[in-house]
């Protein structure tokens, strides 16, 4: 579509095959998540569920309120051309803008609380299945903090992640929904989807209104000069196809790995507290530039990024472990349970964002995994609060 097909020399073919095989192994691990015939949520304690809901709703409302205020002001500044997507998102201007709008502690709290959005997604589908429309809509609204946490920085990745995760979960649980809910669902989801997509297009249009960032070397179906917005959207999702083999070809086993920046967003934050945020960020940029050069800011796909942490053999082992984890959380006998429903939103970003890189490098994703594990341990019947299994 965009004319960026890689030149298929023998080594590029090998790297492309390597990625294709591992992606196939990854996605086949979801075989047991389809063809659901019923659900069983009897393993959770409803009284504890009520306590979790009350606390999480209050936190969610607080974050939504802050994000709506910040986002409306950021978009207003964007319309007035007082800021640009490039300066705000890529050149660190967002921090100064946020500090001018709200106390810094509010943004920090937002970063810590917004990962609950993945829990809200689980609760949204939980109540959708149980035909409790009011609670389902409430948790859907609260889950939008995941989108807004990215939009306030004028980043499209959080929106893409949310939409892809939501649609995938819906695909899995759709057979379990009541017929009346299915009919009304399409109107409501279309309305919300249109609103989200409009904001996404607005940000994309602003970013690429002055032209595109590169020129294709091959014939493209969509013209980058005549249709820059459409061209940029297709390019956004397809960069990995060309760039993945490029960085695999550049990989040298003797190079120092990327380390925590590619594997653990939480680990990076801990490192920043210990060593200092500025020092850690400078080391990261220096390492990226040394290893990848002009490729450092592009999308390479999940496999391409993992190789720079674990090598070719280590990446294979990582994918096999990931497959085992996904299978362990899969439904039994085509029956959906709460364990699976809580796991899906935090597992899926690794897969639906495969075209970007490693979703585990995101702090929000790391915290979401921890939060959902804690909630699952808390909700299970016959378990003490936050008990550790023997």
Q: Could you read off the pLDDT of 154-183 as tens digits, one per residue?
A: 777 888 889 889 989 998 998 998 877 777
Check: CB of residue 222 under 8 Å from CB of residue 230. yes
Q: Choose among 242, 156, 139, 152: nearest CA to 198.
A: 156
Nearest to 57 by CA among 108, 119, 105, 104: 119
- Element housing 364 (H / E): helix 363-379
Mean pLDDT of 263-274: 82
Which pLDDT score, from 0 to 100, does residue 362 have? 87
Any idea which residue has 């920090």 for tokens?
108
For the cut 70, the answer to whether the pLDDT of residue 348 exceeds it is yes
pLDDT at 386: 44
Task: Give the C-alpha separation, 300 to 224, whole Å.
Answer: 21
User: Helix, strand or coil for residue 150?
Assistant: helix
Q: Average pLDDT, stretch 39-59?
A: 94
Q: Which of 195-209, 223-237, 271-285, 363-377 has the highest mean pLDDT?
A: 363-377
**Does the structure show a pLDDT above 60 at 210?**
no
The C-alpha atoms of residue 320 and residue 182 are separated, in whole angstroms, by 36
Q: Is the pLDDT of residue 226 over 50?
A: yes
Tokens of residue 134, six digits: 């009011």
Distance CA 34, CA 321 (A): 21
For residue 350, which phi and psi values (nearest 5 degrees)?
-60, -35
Q: Examine the pLDDT at 211 and tell me if it is beyond 50.
A: no
Cα torsion angle, 111, 152, 167, 42, sign = positive
C-alpha closest to that of 326 among 363, 289, 352, 288: 352
Which of the 8 DSSP states describes residue 296?
Answer: T
Contact 171, 165 (CB under 8 A): no
- Confidence at 317, pLDDT banded by 50, 70, 90: very high
Partners of 223 in the β-ladder: none
In angstroms, the CA 60 to CA 77 distance is 26
Which of 77-81, 184-188, 325-329, 377-381 is the least confident region? Answer: 184-188
Cα 376 to Cα 342: distance, rounded to the nearest angstrom = 7
Q: At what angle do helices 46-79 and 116-129 cross, to 10 degrees?
A: 120
Percent of the chain with pLDDT over 70: 78
For residue 51, pLDDT beyond 90: yes
Q: What is the mean pLDDT of the chain?
A: 82
Provide the CB-side half-sphere exposure for 166 (13 A, CA). Answer: 23
Looking at residue 293, the DSSP 8-state letter turns out to be G
Q: What pLDDT shows up at residue 212?
A: 45
Which of 49-58, 180-189, 237-246 has the weakest average pLDDT?
180-189
Quick one: tokens of 310? 């674990």
Of the pLDDT bands very low, low, confident and very high (cuts 50, 70, 90), residue 256 is low
Give CA separation, 381 vs 49, 160, 180, 270, 342, in Å: 11, 35, 32, 34, 15
Question: What is the Cα–Cα distance from 71 to 342, expressed in whole angstroms?
Answer: 28
Confidence of residue 274 (pLDDT cuts 50, 70, 90): confident
User: Residue 218 has what pLDDT?
Assistant: 56
Phi, psi of 214 (to 5 degrees): -150, 170
Residue 126 has a pLDDT of 96
Separation CA 345–CA 8 (nearest Å): 36
Residue 349: both structure tokens together: 């970003």
Give the pair of three-digit tokens for residue 127: 């109540």
Quote the pLDDT of residue 389.
Answer: 40
pLDDT (0 to 100) of residue 283? 78
Lowest mean pLDDT segment, chosen from 13-22, 83-92, 259-268: 83-92
Which residue stretches of the chain are H helix?
10-28, 46-79, 85, 93-101, 104-113, 116-129, 133-143, 145-151, 157-173, 179-207, 228-250, 260-263, 265-275, 277-292, 301-328, 338-352, 363-379
């Amino acid at each position: 579509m965009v004319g960026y097909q890689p030149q298929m020399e023998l080594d590029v073919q090998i790297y492309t095959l390597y990625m294709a095989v591992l992606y196939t192994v990854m996605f086949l691990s979801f075989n047991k998540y389809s063809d659901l015939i019923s659900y069983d949520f009897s393993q959770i304690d409803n009284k504890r569920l009520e306590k979790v809901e009350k606390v999480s709703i209050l936190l969610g409302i607080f974050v939504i309120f802050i994000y709506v205020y910040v986002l409306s002001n950021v978009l207003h500044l964007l319309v007035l051309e007082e800021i640009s997507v490039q300066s705000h998102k890529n050149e660190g201007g967002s921090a100064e803008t946020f500090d001018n709008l709200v106390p810094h502690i509010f943004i920090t709290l937002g970063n810590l609380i917004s990962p609950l959005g993945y829990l809200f997604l689980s609760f949204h589908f939980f109540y959708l299945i149980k035909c409790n429309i009011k609670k389902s809509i409430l948790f859907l609204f609260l889950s939008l903090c995941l989108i807004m946490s990215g939009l306030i920085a004028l980043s499209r990745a959080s929106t893409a992640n949310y939409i892809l995760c939501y649609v995938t979960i819906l695909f899995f649980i759709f057979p379990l929904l009541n017929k009346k809910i299915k009919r009304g669902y399409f109107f409501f989801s279309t309305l919300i989807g249109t609103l989200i997509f409009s904001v996404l297009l607005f940000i994309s249009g602003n970013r690429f209104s002055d032209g595109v960032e590169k020129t294709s070397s091959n014939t493209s179906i969509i013209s980058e000069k005549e249709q820059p917005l459409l061209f940029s959207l297709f390019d956004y999702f397809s960069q990995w196809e060309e760039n993945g083999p490029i960085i695999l070809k550049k990989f040298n086993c003797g190079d120092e790995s990327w380390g925590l920046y590619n594997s653990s967003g939480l680990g990076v934050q801990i490192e920043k507290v210990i060593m200092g945020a500025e020092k850690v960020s400078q080391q990261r940029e220096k390492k990226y530039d040394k290893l990848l050069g002009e490729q450092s800011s592009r999308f390479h796909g999940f496999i391409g990024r993992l190789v720079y942490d674990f090598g070719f053999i280590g990446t294979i082992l990582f994918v096999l472990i990931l497959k085992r984890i996904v299978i362990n959380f899969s439904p039994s006998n085509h029956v959906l349970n709460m364990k699976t429903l809580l796991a899906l939103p935090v597992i899926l970003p690794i897969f639906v964002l495969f075209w970007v890189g490693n979703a585990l490098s995101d702090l929000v994703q790391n915290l979401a995994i921890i939060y959902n594990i804690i909630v699952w341990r808390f909700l299970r019947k016959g378990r003490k609060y936050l008990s550790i299994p023997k």
